[in-house]
Amino acid sequence: MQIRGIYPPVPTFFSADEEVDLATLREHIRRLRQAGIRNVVALGSNGEAVHLDLHERRAVISAIRDAVGADAQVLAGAGAQSTRETIALCQLAAEAGADVALVLPPHHYGGRMGPAVQRAHYLAVADASPLPVLIYNMPANAAGVDLDAETIITLSAHANIVGVKDSSGNLAKLAEVAAGAHEGFATLAGSAGFLLPAAVVGACGAIAALANVAPRECLQLFDLCERGEFAAARTLQARLIPVNTAVTSGYGVAGLKAALQFVAHYGGEPRRPLAPLGEGERVRLRSLLAQADLLSAMRPTR
């Protein structure tokens, strides 16, 4: 399996009474496909996986599988705090139609979750998982647990561990992993905010929240990097950074959904306890989208 290119981690949409809204999810996938996106991530951090029960997780993955088509890859979040539950979530993802399991490191007992424990966890999951495993290194969502380059490179030798999404922003580590990992191991940037420098040091793509809002621009940025057109890539990267920050570390899931409301006229609110953006935040976000010329980013292809 080749993992390469731009993968939007799609939101899970909810109705006004907080029920999962599969119709809006299918509409979002359709719009992404029209914009040129082929592959997607279900139940990542932006998919509010921690807010869903097992039935809902299965329904979301299945709906995405059906909507995106048989020719696409579906990566599905399957991380949990125990090795046993992580394996069960990998099995659920496989049954629901996913192609790859995206696994965040266990982190609740952070002081005891050192490199040796993480290696043992991922090896056990990879041995048992019916799906290939993609490591998900995101310290901000894992109580600060940050997998080091040596750990990731060691894990890359396992036949069923196929890559890493690194959202730490540590480009030196990303470069070390890209250079030292087993052949065929995919090194993906975890944000569009550093896609250009990540591609320069060896990343083969990105799992980027911004690709939900600006799919064409994210695809274009990666294509410019692939073709070595770095002057144009620098200009586009700079244009995207403020909005990318807003829908990731700035406003988070609520910001991503509000941005979709502005550009695509759907999005809704996150599931509680996450709160929607306040009016001032919405005004600021809309201004950033306008400055980046993204208010028509999701217009259908004609």
- Which residues are tagged catalytic? 165
> Distance between CA 88 and CA 237 in Å, rounded?
39
Bond from prior residue into 300 cis (ω within 30 degrees of 0)? no
Report in angstroms the alpha-carbon separations of 183 from 153, 187, 300: 11, 11, 38
Q: Answer for the pair 260, 11: CB distance below 8 angstroms, yes or no.
A: yes
Buried residues in 260-289 as b, exposed as e (16+ CB within 10 A): bbbbbebbbbbbeeeebbeeebbebbbebb
> Contact 206/188 with Cβ under 8 angstroms?
yes
d(C-alpha 30, C-alpha 179), whole Å: 36
Q: Would you say 126 and 134 are in contact if contact means Cβ atoms under 8 Å apart?
A: no
Three-state secondary-structure class, residue 244: helix
100: which 2 tokens? 């790859």
Q: In sequence order, what are the residues at sequence separation of 6 or more whose Cβ sits closer than 8 angstroms to the Cβ of residue 250?
A: none
Check the CA dihedral 54-107-213-216 and report its sign.
negative
Helix (H, G, I), strand (E, B) or coil at 175: helix
Residue 97 backbone class (left: φ over 0; alpha: ψ -120 to 50; beta: rest) = left
